[in-house]
Structure 1
Amino acid sequence: MTDMLAKQLPINGHIWQETLHWLPSDEQQGLFEQLYQGIVAGNRQVNLTRITEPDGFWEKHLWDSLSGLAPWCEPQKPEWLPTVKTVIDIGTGGGFPGVPVAIARSQWHVTLLDSTRKKIAFLQTLCEQLGLTNTTFLAERAEVLGRDPKHRAQYDLAMVRAVGPASTCAEYALPLLKKSGFAVLFRGQWTDEEEDLFVGALDTLGGELVAICPWETPLTQGVRHCLYVKKVAKTDNDFPRTVGMPAKHPL
């Protein structure tokens, strides 16, 4: 076993509790550890992440992924909070936020979507090794899936992390959501100017910006924001646009 694989994730129970009002069980902590070791090992064959040190992986992948679930963990849950059964992680890459979410919320069914077939094949094998039975895997473009009747308007929650401009992420997510479903968009910095442009795009897509949760990452004090978007109207059949258009020409 290499030195890298011998390293273990920090538990950081007090940070989970203080920041997200949530604490992983011993079983969940064990699954996070297995996920970490699997990603580090898999990185040799598939380019999954640059972040392989335990503290960085814990903060940038585990904590950051689950920060999007903060409203579900609050002692007094917000009135707008949706009931969730089906989730899609759009552009999952190395499995984030989808795999940590599947571990933290075993009652949710999480679909991991990525256009890179090799990554999806790796994640399917890894999740089988972890014993996760609440995951599904799709190697496809979001623009194609959003027009597929088997997936369009079928999900309660869509999560999009590190995929592109906010309006591009919304164009990927909203067609896949049921009416009253929610998208969680993970951002770094967020400005009033960005918000003004984003709200205009949401009007076109049938969405409404309900909440913005600002964060400071607990170990390195990086700036993060989670945007919570509700689908309030049917998304026009013109969206998502053809492959590549949402990224090249954001609304």
Structure 2
Amino acid sequence: MSPEGSRLLLQAGEALGLDLRPHLDRFARFYSLLVAANRRINLTAIRDERGVVLKHFADSLSCLRYPGFSDGMTVVDVGTGAGFPGLPLAIVRPGIRFELLDATQKKVRFVQEVIRELALPNAEARWGRAEELGRGVKRETYHAALSRAVASLPVVAELTLPLVRVGGFVLLQKGPEVEQELVQAQRALEELGGRLGGVIPFQLPISGETRRLVVLEKVAPTPPRYPRRAGLPARNPLS
């Protein structure tokens, strides 16, 4: 990462209330690994340094605008792709364990490489589908779940809420046009043991792009019939 990229990241972190100076080396290494891997496989359409710093690193760290994170938690990142938002969060919050889940093996292998290269003992990459994980031994075990641009809100609620224990939360990164999704997700939330905990509007540092953090609270156990089998939540969303 260039000096300009480092300066931009520090500035974005400052806007988020974070001192990223102790973490610059890891973010720089992460950036280098991402650029190199993108030459071999399609991990992300955002490839320029400014875009990665603002739309991947800073955007991921914006999850910390929600005050519910605390040391000792175990958090699952559903549909992590190239490691967002989970890896930037694991870098700056070493007291939280992050499990990064994706159904595409090449992406999981890349995330595993980053975890090794950055020596992140609080991060683990998992290959698999949320529907299967939510019906197995990980059902209702996580303190929280994250998801970024994976699917519509009714779909992602079915993928994430079964993974979270009662009293936990789901944090969804969304764009400004989320109100209609919230209306469509009302029945799904009730069915799945969740409720809307709030919507946090904000602008990305420096770029000023509008974002929303949607908070779902897990208030009751998810009925055993959810999540449905792999692929069905996306094909036939709860409504």
Matching residue within 171, 195, 214 for 2:201: 214
Aligned to 2:64: 69
So what's the TM-score if we normalise by structure 2?
A: 0.93
Q: Is the contact made by 1:7 and 1:54 (CA closer than 8 Å) also made in structure 2?
A: no
Query: Equivalents in 2 of 1:98, 1:191: separation in Å?
Result: 22
What SS class does the counterpart of residue 114 from structure 2 fall into?
helix
Query: Equivalents in 1 of 2:4, 2:106: separation in Å?
Result: 26
Residue 5 (structure 2) pairs with residue 29 (structure 1): no
Query: Equivalents in 1 of 2:133, 2:2: separation in Å?
Result: 39
Aligned to 2:161: 174
What SS class does the counterpart of residue 5 from structure 2 fall into?
coil
Which string of whole-angstrom CA distances, capped at 9 and with x for unpartnered residues, describes residues 215-237 of structure 1?
22233332211101110000011
Unpaired stretches in structure 2, ≥5 consecutive residues = none
Aligned to 1:101: 89
Matching residue within 187, 208, 214 for 1:227: 214
RMSD: 1.7
Q: Is the contact made by 2:79 and 2:103 (CA closer than 8 Å) also made in structure 1?
A: yes
Aligned to 1:244: 231
Q: Is the contact made by 1:85 and 1:156 (CA closer than 8 Å) also made in structure 2?
A: yes
Q: Is the contact made by 2:6 and 2:24 (CA closer than 8 Å) also made in structure 1?
A: no
Query: 1:62 is aligned with what amino acid?
Result: F
Unpaired stretches in structure 1, ≥5 consecutive residues = 73-80
Which string of whole-angstrom CA distances, capped at 9 and with x for unpartnered residues, describes residues 74-115 of structure 1?
xxxxxxx36451011100001100100110110111101000
Choose 211-220 or 157-166, whichever is displaced more: 211-220
Give the drift of 1:192: 3.4
What SS class does the counterpart of residue 185 from structure 2 fall into?
helix
Query: 2:7 is aligned with what amino acid?
Result: I
Query: 1:231 is aligned with what amino acid?
Result: K
So what's the TM-score if we normalise by structure 1?
A: 0.88
- The alpha-carbon distance between structure 1 residues 135 and 192, as it changes in their structure 2 partners (threshold 3 A), is closer
Aligned to 1:78: none
